Structure 1
Amino acid sequence: MTARFRTTGRLATAAALLAAVVSFQAGLLAPSPARAQLATPAAALCERQIAIKAPMPAPVDASGDLVGSFGFPCAAGADAVLPVVLMLAGSGPTDRDGNQPGLRTDLLRMLAEDLAARGIASLRVDKRGIGASRAAIADEALMTIDLLASDAAQWTRAARKLADGAPVIVLGHSEGGLIALLAARREAPDAIVLAATPGEPAIRTLERQLAQAPMPDDLRRTADRILADLGAGRKVADVPLELAPLFRPSVQPYLISWLGIDPATVMERFGGPVLILQGDRDLQVTTADARRLAAGRPKDTRIEILAGLNHVLKPAPADRAGNIAAYTAPGLRPDPRVAMLISAFAGTGAER
């Protein structure tokens, strides 16, 4: 999901740039939106809050817990032995429901409802620094993708306890897919679902989007230089105001930790089954990304290209404005094929 900024004059160029790039871990400590009131709430889902301890690496101390929602079919009850789908949100200040300030999609909550209707439990989590997990980090500059992967591994262990012997499937949406793959190195789930997950290193995507973004030549050259430095592991002090939303010093440690990781290479190391879900009207991640992920690991990998779906797996028109409007359209839910494929895949995981 893309960051949004109100700007005028030359700063509008940066806004256009940010609207074009794949979302990143900017605005990490921005306040999360209130829980959405769904237009058509699903009666199948009941839930209770879960909290776990996930300390920051020494010498940093953070006292806050990581917090999430354990969702289960009301008809089955919280103690039923059911497959559990751990959901990892995409980048930026995205909460357990799949929402950001000013961008309420309810993607993850709706998926939890749809899965509950099919007899599948779920665990939706607020990332460190977001929502009810806000107190688990005090400074954006301490965040790295490795820290998020470590947290996801902790949540996988929590999901194991909730599943009580049933399969645990980790679903990563967008950048959450890369975090799922990295977390599996520490704590392997039974299976992974990659939904709208980029298939190339983030630096390649950002290079392409910078080349396409409308901006003055001098600013483009500066952006290219900063990106190259960050890709080489070098922090940049002289960031122009126009580029600060993307490259500000406090977010640079995260960018450095993230830019060079190749999701396809990381995926090769996971031994369990993988389901790749990709909408063919996704404005941020392409079907080529999905195919690149699948090509590097053909064994135990299934790819599903879903016609007519956008980045948040909802039906959307081809035009950009209508596509983006579908993200937050009242009452518009993820396509039923998504929950159907995940629930069938959870059965596959049970056979392993």
Structure 2
Amino acid sequence: MTIGAAITAAMIAVASPSTQEARVAEVAIEAKGPIGPLSGTMLAAGEGAPVVLIIPGSGPTDRDGNSPMGVKAGYLKLLAQGLAEKGIGSVRIDKRGMFGSKGAVAADGEVRIADYVSDVGSWVQAVRTRTGVDCVWLAGHSEGALVALAAAQAQQHLCGVVLIASPGRPMIPLMREQFQKNPGNAPILPDVLPVLDAMERGEVADTSKMDTRVAPIFSPVNQRYLIDANRYDPAKLAATYRGPLLIVQGGRDLQTTMDDANAIAAARADAALKVLPEMNHVLKVVPADNPVVNMMSYSHPDLPLAPGLVDAVAAFVTQ
């Protein structure tokens, strides 16, 4: 039996009704983009039902939570389906310039966090027009949580914000920790750390002699994006947002940690904090603190979401 098959077999027993295929039809929905439309998928749960706008994380992550970089966990689609079974509607989106929203910007257009924030505003307006709800809930995953917090600073017609696997620190210190805590990264650290240091100073580093395994991550375009993103401190944004806030963190997340969740919780003492000890970054249960097994779950869409995740979000949204 392969590791992947072992994970699947181990997890079948914990599947709950909320992880089964939702009996609600998916429909396409669009919002206004800067050039062309932004594209998403709506699961409507009925007239008057709350609606959650699900914002994906960093890189080429699509509306379902999948990525051409090997992530096929489908966790955002599963979240939407689970919420639908609780009577909660959702809209999950492709970020501007990617997938269904590729035509929203020029082919060579660079994107910043402020652009994603602007798109959240377009989506809130589109959802309210389409569904008739007065306010929309934001649920951001990973970097999407940072976008949600930034959008919540001035966006009207928000019911509240859900942060799932959110960074609690600026982007570059978090990346530095991620690279350093993986023993397998030791050979590339001499190349990576000076680039991170330069970006933290606001400088675009020369990567022409960088290890080819990581050079694409630090292309000039990506460096400029990360320099901009590093200006946003999630904990400070949480402190200045006054609406309802839920923080959800997995104990086996390899990309964000309890330090991140606690930093946000400390900034907003009245926020709700839900810890799921066995959940990883793609919102699945992994059976042990084993990085190899953990990463295998990233390519298994058949694994259900971590028990308690949908219930926590649903309880917060309907309270």
- Same fold by TM-score greater than 0.5: yes
> Shift in Å at residue 291 of structure 1?
1.0
Partner of 1:146: 114
Deviations 1:107-126 (A, max 9, x none): 11111111111110001111
SS in 1 for 2:161: strand
Partners of 2:96 and 2:58 in 1: CA distance: 12
Whether the 8 Å CA contact 2:74–2:301 is kept in 1: the answer is: no
Alignment of 1:18-167 (within 5 A): 42-55=21-34, 63-73=35-45, 76=46, 80-101=47-68, 102-139=70-107, 142-167=110-135
Partner of 2:205: 236
Pair 1:347–1:264, CA change in 2 (3 A): same
Partners of 1:344 and 1:54 in 2: CA distance: 32
Partners of 1:41 and 1:54 in 2: CA distance: 33
Deviations 1:132-183 (A, max 9, x none): 1011223466111111121122212222334423542100001100000111
Deviations 1:165-222 (A, max 9, x none): 3542100001100000111123141100000001111121122234445344xx6444
- Alignment size in residue pairs: 294
Pair 1:43–1:225, CA change in 2 (3 A): closer
Partners of 1:89 and 1:282 in 2: CA distance: 16
Deviations 1:71-90 (A, max 9, x none): 123xx4xxx12100000001
When the two chains are superposed, the root-mean-square deviation of aligned CA atoms in Å is 2.0
TM-score w.r.t. structure 1 length? Answer: 0.78
Whether the 8 Å CA contact 2:52–2:90 is kept in 1: the answer is: yes
Whether the 8 Å CA contact 1:199–1:290 is kept in 2: the answer is: yes
Partners of 1:331 and 1:238 in 2: CA distance: 39
Letter in 2 for 1:90: G
Partners of 2:293 and 2:186 in 1: CA distance: 24
Pair 1:47–1:200, CA change in 2 (3 A): same
Partners of 2:176 and 2:100 in 1: CA distance: 34
Identity percentage of aligned residues: 38
Alignment of 1:179-258 (within 5 A): 179-188=147-156, 189-212=158-181, 214-216=185-187, 220-242=189-211, 243-258=214-229
Whether the 8 Å CA contact 2:169–2:234 is kept in 1: the answer is: yes
Partners of 2:266 and 2:85 in 1: CA distance: 33
> Shift in Å at residue 331 of structure 1?
2.1
Structure 1: gaps spanning 5 or more residues: 1-39, 56-62
Partner of 2:286: 316
Whether the 8 Å CA contact 1:83–1:121 is kept in 2: the answer is: yes
